[in-house]
Structure 1
Amino acid sequence: MKKVKYYYDTENLAYRKIQPKKGKKLSVILLFLASSALFGFLCFVILLNTPYFETPKDRLQSREIDNLKIRYALLNKKMDQLDAVLENIEERDNTIYRVFFNTTPIPEEQRKAGFGGINRYKDLEGYNNSELVINTTKRVDILSKELVIQSKSLDEILKLAKDKEKLLSAIPAIQPIKNEDLKHMASGFGYRTDPFTKVRKFHAGMDFSSKTGTPVYVTGDGVVERADNTASGYGNHIVVRHGYGYETLYGHLSKYKVRAGERVKRGDIIGYVGSTGRSEAPHLHYEVHKNGEVVNPLNFYYGNISAKEYLVISKLANQENQSLD
């Protein structure tokens, strides 16, 4: 029931009913509606900014963010694996490859150096997941830098390997006459008795006794520097320049199979055993020079003889007997 209000009329000494004005009643209604609408709007705004109320767009964005977090987590796990593999390669690079090729290892501080100067990640700041994105981006940048350093290092190692391969091919590493073609090891490196003067003098090479016409093999890759008989005592002889300071000489040949300027590879036949020049019997006089100095050829026969054969030839070569030239 609607509540009725009265007032006391002092002139007539009686209670009279209060009649509300129509305009005032309407304004009250409008004020109520306006306040209700404002209150409802405020509540709606508050709900929008709380985690308890999500729009379809918010839910879609939330799923995308969760998906990106999962992807970033997987990316970081892959980078952990890449880190482990790269560290293994770096360790082998420093402790094996560079040691083998006698070159300086890359310092750890150079491999792991960061990025100085301006803030490279300023554009990624200010977001809810900025820390995750920045840390992952930094890891990618560091890995990329380390990979560039390691790639350049491996390029250098490859170049050193090619140079090393050339060096190993150039070193005079085999006997110039096969064991099956040898009669015996006539004389070794060092002081020996001269067959003509019978005086003890230095013998600068090794003498391989074999029949005339036995093939003579070049002991390392190189270029024939000379093939003539103009040097005193050697008769028909060949000199091969191998590079890296190495030269070999093959003396008292019966004939040549190469000429000056020709490139030869280890194992090629370059001439044949003879007894030309200052020689007492058919044999090959063989010398090895390193940086202009004669060295003992016995130190280089590791390419085509066994350990047992080396011991035998070493024992014979070290006997102080008479040379054949």
Structure 2
Amino acid sequence: MAKVKYYYDPENLAYKRIETKKRKKFGYILLFLLSSALFGFLCLVLLINTPYFETPKDKLLTNELENMKINYQLLNKKVDVMENALSAIEDRDNNVYRTYFNTSPITDEERKAGFGGVNRYKDLEGYNNSDLVINTTKKIDRLMKEMAIQSESLNEIVKLGKQKEKLLAAIPAIQPVKNEDLKRMASGYGYRSDPFTKVRKFHYGMDFTSPTGTPIYATGDGVVLKADNSLSGYGNHIEVNHGYGYVTLYAHLSKYNCKRGQKVKRGDIIGYVGSTGRSEAPHLHYEVIKNGKKVNPINFYYGSISAEEYVAISKLANQENQSLD
């Protein structure tokens, strides 16, 4: 039952009932309804944003976000392991491979240079876990760049290795006559007595005494420059260009087993011992030329003789005796 309200009328000295106008009643009702609706909406908003009243979909999304966060943390640890492994490879690259092949190392500035210019990670900003995602993405980008640089470096090392392999094969590294075919080491590099004039002069090669027809071997890979008797005093001789500044000369041959322009390998038989030209007896006169300068051949026999044999030959080669040419 609605509560009835009265007011006192002083003129009539009596209480009169207060009559509420219909219009005013309708306004009160409308205001009440609006207030109720607003209150209900605010309560709904609060409920939606309260974790205690999550929908199944909200729970699924929350779990996915947590899994994503855990996966990114695990990915970060894996990236750290990969960075450590790459760092070890970079260290070997600079301090072992590049040192061995005598080439400049790659600086840290080149390897770890950042990405300048536009913000590459702007699309990842503004989320709950943006810092985690951005940091992980930066690490991966940096790792990929360093791996690309290291890959190029290893390609360069492979090329240098192939060149080094060719260089090692080209160096005249064995004796031109086998030890079992030698009678003796007749003369070495240095001042010797000329067999014809008896005058002391510089002997630019080594003389290996062997019977006529003894095989002569190419001491390194190369291409035959000459197989003729065009040089005065050398008789039948062969010149082999090994590349990398190396040339070898084999003189006083009885006959050839190669021709000009022919490619030869270390250990190939290219001719036979003789006594042609300015020679006193059957032997091989052998010279090594490096960058146009004649050098001591004994320094290049590491590919075919032992340490003891090298010492013995050195003693014989250093004796200032008479040469055979």
Same fold (TM over 0.5): yes
Q: Any idea what SS the aligned residue of 1:52 has?
A: helix
| Aligned residue number for residue 87 of structure 1 | 87
Q: Are 1:6 and 1:15, in contact at CA under 8 Å, matched by a contact in 2?
A: no
- In 2, the alpha carbon distance for the partners of 1:272 and 1:110 equals 56
Say if 1:14 and 1:214 are closer, same or farther in 2 by CA, change over 3 A: same
Q: Are 2:7 and 2:18, in contact at CA under 8 Å, matched by a contact in 1?
A: no
| Aligned residue number for residue 234 of structure 1 | 234
1:273-294 CA deviation, whole Å, 9 max, x = no partner? 1111111111110000011110
| Aligned residue number for residue 51 of structure 1 | 51
Moved more, 174-183 or 31-40: 31-40
Q: Any residues of structure 2 matched to 1:197-208 within 5 Å, and which?
A: 197-208=197-208
- In 1, the alpha carbon distance for the partners of 2:92 and 2:309 equals 36
Q: Any residues of structure 2 matched to 1:38-187 within 5 Å, and which?
A: 38-187=38-187
- In 1, the alpha carbon distance for the partners of 2:27 and 2:72 equals 60
1:114-147 CA deviation, whole Å, 9 max, x = no partner? 1111211111111111111111111111111111
Say if 1:12 and 1:241 are closer, same or farther in 2 by CA, change over 3 A: closer
Deviation, 1:27, is 7.9
1:209-230 CA deviation, whole Å, 9 max, x = no partner? 1111111000011000000112
- In 2, the alpha carbon distance for the partners of 1:58 and 1:95 equals 55
Task: Report the number of matched residues.
Answer: 324
The one-letter code sitting in structure 2 at the alignment partner of 1:60 is L
- In 1, the alpha carbon distance for the partners of 2:8 and 2:113 equals 98
- In 1, the alpha carbon distance for the partners of 2:143 and 2:258 equals 55
- In 1, the alpha carbon distance for the partners of 2:70 and 2:296 equals 69
The one-letter code sitting in structure 1 at the alignment partner of 2:149 is I
- Structure 1: 5+ residue stretches without partners: none
1:144-178 CA deviation, whole Å, 9 max, x = no partner? 11111111111111111111111111110110011
Q: Are 1:4 and 1:17, in contact at CA under 8 Å, matched by a contact in 2?
A: no
- In 2, the alpha carbon distance for the partners of 1:136 and 1:195 equals 82
Deviation, 1:13, is 9.8
Q: Are 1:209 and 1:284, in contact at CA under 8 Å, matched by a contact in 2?
A: yes
Say if 1:6 and 1:282 are closer, same or farther in 2 by CA, change over 3 A: closer
The one-letter code sitting in structure 2 at the alignment partner of 1:118 is V
- In 1, the alpha carbon distance for the partners of 2:245 and 2:5 equals 131
Q: Any idea what SS the aligned residue of 2:53 has?
A: coil
Q: Are 1:177 and 1:208, in contact at CA under 8 Å, matched by a contact in 2?
A: yes
Say if 1:27 and 1:315 are closer, same or farther in 2 by CA, change over 3 A: same
- In 2, the alpha carbon distance for the partners of 1:8 and 1:310 equals 138
Moved more, 32-41 or 218-227: 32-41
| Aligned residue number for residue 277 of structure 2 | 277
- Structure 2: 5+ residue stretches without partners: none
* TM-score in terms of structure 1 length: 0.91
The one-letter code sitting in structure 2 at the alignment partner of 1:240 is V
Q: Are 1:98 and 1:104, in contact at CA under 8 Å, matched by a contact in 2?
A: yes
The one-letter code sitting in structure 2 at the alignment partner of 1:191 is Y
Q: Any idea what SS the aligned residue of 1:320 has?
A: coil
Q: Any idea what SS the aligned residue of 1:272 has?
A: strand
Say if 1:232 and 1:129 are closer, same or farther in 2 by CA, change over 3 A: same
| Aligned residue number for residue 252 of structure 2 | 252
* TM-score in terms of structure 2 length: 0.91
Q: Are 1:193 and 1:201, in contact at CA under 8 Å, matched by a contact in 2?
A: yes
Q: Any idea what SS the aligned residue of 2:197 has?
A: coil
The one-letter code sitting in structure 1 at the alignment partner of 2:188 is G
- In 1, the alpha carbon distance for the partners of 2:155 and 2:188 equals 44
CA RMSD of aligned residues (A): 2.4
The one-letter code sitting in structure 2 at the alignment partner of 1:119 is N
Identity among equivalent positions (%) equals 72
- In 2, the alpha carbon distance for the partners of 1:221 and 1:37 equals 98
- In 2, the alpha carbon distance for the partners of 1:138 and 1:186 equals 72
The one-letter code sitting in structure 1 at the alignment partner of 2:38 is L
| Aligned residue number for residue 218 of structure 1 | 218
Deviation, 1:52, is 3.2
The one-letter code sitting in structure 2 at the alignment partner of 1:237 is H
1:193-222 CA deviation, whole Å, 9 max, x = no partner? 111111111111000111111110000110
Deviation, 1:35, is 3.9
Deviation, 1:315, is 0.9
Deviation, 1:50, is 2.9
Say if 1:124 and 1:259 are closer, same or farther in 2 by CA, change over 3 A: same
Say if 1:4 and 1:275 are closer, same or farther in 2 by CA, change over 3 A: closer
